């Protein structure tokens, strides 16, 4: 007797790590595109238009990284701590480990291409018992990075604009409220652009990245060509030598200078958060992550080395009355008109970088709200605007928080806090799922189409060890003993630690009752599963079909034991 067999839909399910329990499969996979099926296998339905390509995804990531404005903004911590050595062999040493972090993250992105990114990966890799807490810590740490990204970049952009005004008119001294208002204005323009349809945003960032790359290359050419002085370049002993401006030994000072490099090289995760809007995401997303980190490492070293070989007086640059070290550097080594041109290009790149930060932050906020990370506030944040098909509410929520953070401008040195979070919180979020993968999951991890092969374990170990070493170093103040004052204190541990402590307390007091990690929001079959707390209905069995297997269709959003 002939048997009428159903098509094997399981064969269409991509081999990914997922929150689905073993044996569960989404409905209607045969009717989906490959990207939709991959997302469905992760437990989510397609809500965005997939209008990002590998290039436009790279465009956003490269814009978020913003090499030129990032290096310009963080010269305080690189040159200011260890002198030119921070720009040369300090960059090479730290970038090796940063590339290990990026490569390990890319491997996760290929396996789990969802906007939740690191948060989703931590939940799955930690298992059903510890997954919710791992996701909670990773998600909040990453959101702290994202929500401070645009304000910090836009503050740096505003500072450079006002420094340029001071160069043109030496009698002009910017005031605190002018800096605040200009920064807020820049943020509002970024929020408006980020609220547009996906294709418009993709095109804007593609153009912005092209300008970013061109400006970076032009600056790399201008600096050696137009540098004044005789000789034009410093000897190798100067460019590769440590000028320790801290109270710590030279080795510690060099490690402290890694703050500048870590903050600069932290935008590549934006590709992960845009994966639900990217076509062929399981391949394009990891490629974009690696392209961003790799190109940033090379071009960043070239620019930093040029600065190390051309700077005349480090102390004069760091302590300049302009209040912006990069502006002081270009004035020191270039003719004024050329210096203003370089500063103008840096400002344009900073604006593009702030826009990329805003886009990435809104996608992270949406992904976490979709799983109710923000409690009662999650409901409006997880809504997609029906006209633009983008998370407009998340954009303006992040903007509002950013404007409130900018009030720290009126607290003097307190504004540095929004920069310090960027390095610590970012790499805590980056390496938590990598640590879980190499320690608890091991060979049970389901690779995506892009993976590191035999290098996966060594890369993960190097990434985790680097972050473990750097976390306490980045909390060191530049001075110690009798020289340490409240003004010179490094407030990183308080600014990041206090909110994270409150988040942990919230989880154990209340959130653990309702937060269970990533939520499935797509109809699917549960095959032979007896899961508490899941309400199902019997699937209708067509006449003439064998109903020997019990199958439920889950309707609603509930978390289940992850499959790794």
Supply the pLDDT for residue 526: 30
Q: What pLDDT digit, counting tens, does each position of 458-468 carry? A: 999 999 999 99
Query: How far apart, in whole angstroms, are the C-alpha atoms of residue 505 and residue 515?
Result: 14
Mean pLDDT of 471-490: 83
- DSSP assignment of 457-478 equals HHHHHHHHHHHHHHHHHTT--S
Supply the pLDDT for residue 76: 84
Angle at 98 between CA 92 and CA 102, to 5 degrees: 140
Count of H-run helices and E-run strands, the chain: 21, 4
Predicted confidence band of residue 519 (pLDDT cuts 50, 70, 90): low
Supply the pLDDT for residue 345: 94
- Helix (H) or strand (E) segment spanning residue 90: helix 89-111
- The tokens describing 224, both together, are 């050696």
Mean pLDDT of 84-113: 93
pLDDT for 106 beyond 50: yes
In the three-class reduction of DSSP (H, G, I as helix; E, B as strand; rest coil), residue 428 is classed as: helix
Cβ atoms of 396 and 191 within 8 Å: the answer is yes
Cβ atoms of 514 and 112 within 8 Å: the answer is no
Query: How far apart, in whole angstroms, are the C-alpha atoms of residue 357 and residue 420?
Result: 16
Query: How far apart, in whole angstroms, are the C-alpha atoms of residue 380 and residue 427?
Result: 29
Lowest-pLDDT choice from 133-137, 142-146, 429-433, 466-470: 142-146
Supply the pLDDT for residue 480: 85
Supply the pLDDT for residue 388: 82
- The tokens describing 88, both together, are 């040369």
Residue with more model confidence, 491 or 93: 93
Query: How far apart, in whole angstroms, are the C-alpha atoms of residue 441 and residue 367?
Result: 24
Mean pLDDT of 5-29: 44
In the three-class reduction of DSSP (H, G, I as helix; E, B as strand; rest coil), residue 82 is classed as: helix
Parallel, antiparallel or unpaired: strands 25-26 and 536-538: unpaired
pLDDT for 449 beyond 70: yes
Query: How far apart, in whole angstroms, are the C-alpha atoms of residue 292 and residue 430?
Result: 15
Residue with more model confidence, 230 or 334: 334
Q: Which is nearest to 294 in space by CA: 66, 98, 87?
A: 98
As a whole-number percent, the residues of the chain with pLDDT over 90 amount to: 35
Supply the pLDDT for residue 414: 61
Cβ atoms of 176 and 341 within 8 Å: the answer is no
Residue with more model confidence, 436 or 213: 436
As a whole-number percent, the residues of the chain with pLDDT over 70 amount to: 80
What is the CA 555 to chain-centroid distance, rounded? 33
Q: Which is nearest to 57 in space by CA: 272, 355, 265, 215?
A: 272
pLDDT for 524 beyond 70: no
Mean pLDDT of 7-34: 45
Quick one: angle between helices 127-168 and 325-333, nearest 10?
40
Binning the chain into helix, strand and coil, the percentages to the nearest 5 are 65, 5, 30
Q: What pLDDT digit, counting tens, does each position of 48-92 carry? A: 445 566 677 787 777 778 889 999 988 888 898 999 999 999 999
Mean pLDDT of 24-51: 49
Task: Say what the pTM is.
Answer: 0.78
**DSSP code at position 36:** H
Mean pLDDT of 262-277: 79
Q: What is the mean pLDDT of the chain?
A: 79
Kindly report the three-state secondary structure assignment for every residue of 217-242.
Answer: HHHHHHHHHHCCCCCCCCCHHHHCCC
Q: What pLDDT digit, counting tens, does each position of 371-394 carry? A: 788 888 888 888 888 888 888 999
Query: How far apart, in whole angstroms, are the C-alpha atoms of residue 271 and residue 58?
Result: 7
The length of the chain is 564
Q: Which residues contact 236 (CB under 8 A, 6 or more apart)?
A: none
Q: Phi/psi at 358 (nearest 5 deg)?
A: -65, -45
Q: Furthest-apart CA pair in the chain: how many Å?
A: 96
Supply the pLDDT for residue 346: 94
Cβ atoms of 537 and 525 within 8 Å: the answer is no
Supply the pLDDT for residue 34: 53
pLDDT for 454 beyond 70: yes
Query: How far apart, in whole angstroms, are the C-alpha atoms of residue 108 and residue 434?
Result: 8
Supply the pLDDT for residue 23: 47
Q: Phi/psi at 238 (nearest 5 deg)?
A: -80, -50
Cβ atoms of 325 and 76 within 8 Å: the answer is yes
- The tokens describing 316, both together, are 């004069």
Query: How far apart, in whole angstroms, are the C-alpha atoms of residue 341 and residue 334?
Result: 10
Predicted confidence band of residue 321 (pLDDT cuts 50, 70, 90): confident
């Amino acid at each position: 007797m002939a048997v009428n067999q159903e098509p094997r839909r399981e064969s269409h399910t991509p081999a990914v790590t997922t929150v689905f329990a073993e044996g569960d499969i989404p409905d209607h996979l045969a009717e989906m595109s490959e990207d939709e099926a991959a997302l469905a296998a992760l437990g989510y339905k397609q809500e965005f238009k997939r209008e990002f390509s590998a290039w436009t995804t790279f465009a956003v990531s490269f814009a978020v990284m913003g090499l030129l404005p990032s290096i310009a903004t963080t010269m305080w911590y690189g040159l200011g701590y260890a002198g030119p050595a921070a720009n040369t062999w300090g960059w090479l040493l730290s970038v090796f480990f940063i590339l290990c972090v990026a490569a390990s993250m890319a491997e996760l992105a290929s396996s789990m291409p969802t906007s939740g990114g690191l948060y989703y990966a931590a939940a799955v890799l930690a298992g059903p018992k510890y997954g919710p807490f791992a996701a909670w810590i990773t998600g909040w740490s990453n959101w702290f990075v994202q929500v401070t990204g645009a304000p910090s970049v836009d503050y740096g952009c505003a500072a450079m604009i006002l420094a340029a005004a001071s160069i043109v008119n030496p009698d002009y001294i910017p005031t605190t409220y002018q800096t605040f208002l200009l920064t807020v204005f820049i943020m509002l323009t970024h929020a408006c652009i980020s609220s547009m349809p996906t294709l418009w945003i993709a095109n804007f960032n593609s153009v912005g990245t092209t300008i970013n790359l061109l400006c970076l290359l032009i600056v790399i050419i201008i600096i050696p060509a137009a540098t004044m002085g005789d000789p034009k370049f410093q000897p190798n002993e100067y460019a590769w030598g440590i000028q320790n401006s801290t109270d710590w030994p030279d080795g510690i000072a060099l490690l402290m200078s890694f703050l500048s490099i870590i903050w600069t090289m932290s935008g590549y995760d934006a590709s992960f958060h845009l994966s639900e809007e990217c076509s062929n995401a399981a391949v394009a997303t990891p490629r974009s992550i690696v392209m961003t980190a790799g190109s940033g490492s090379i071009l960043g070293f070239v620019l930093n080395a040029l600065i190390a070989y051309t700077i005349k007086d480090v102390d004069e640059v760091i302590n300049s009355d302009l209040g912006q070290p990069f502006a002081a550097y270009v004035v020191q080594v270039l003719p004024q008109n050329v210096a203003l041109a370089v500063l103008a290009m840096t400002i344009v790149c900073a604006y593009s970088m702030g826009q990329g930060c805003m886009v990435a932050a809104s996608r992270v906020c949406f992904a976490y709200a979709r799983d109710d990370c923000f409690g009662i506030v999650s409901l409006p944040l997880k809504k997609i605007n029906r006209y633009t098909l983008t998370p407009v509410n998340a954009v303006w929520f992040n903007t509002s928080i950013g404007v409130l953070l900018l009030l720290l401008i009126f607290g003097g040195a307190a504004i540095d806090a929004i920069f310090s979070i960027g390095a610590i919180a970012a790499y805590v979020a980056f390496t938590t799922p990598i640590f879980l993968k190499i320690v608890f999951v091991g060979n049970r991890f389901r690779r995506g189409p892009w993976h590191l092969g035999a290098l996966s374990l060594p890369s993960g170990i190097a990434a985790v060890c680097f972050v473990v070493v750097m976390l306490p170093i980045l909390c060191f103040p530049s001075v110690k003993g009798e020289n340490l004052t409240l003004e010179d204190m490094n407030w990183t541990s308080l600014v990041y630690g206090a909110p994270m402590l409150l988040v942990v307390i919230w989880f154990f007091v209340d959130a653990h009752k309702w937060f269970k990690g990533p939520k499935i929001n797509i109809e699917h079959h549960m095959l032979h599963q007896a899961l508490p707390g899941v309400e199902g209905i019997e699937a209708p069995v067509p006449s003439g079909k064998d109903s020997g297997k019990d199958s439920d269709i889950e309707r609603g959003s509930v978390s289940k034991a992850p499959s790794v």
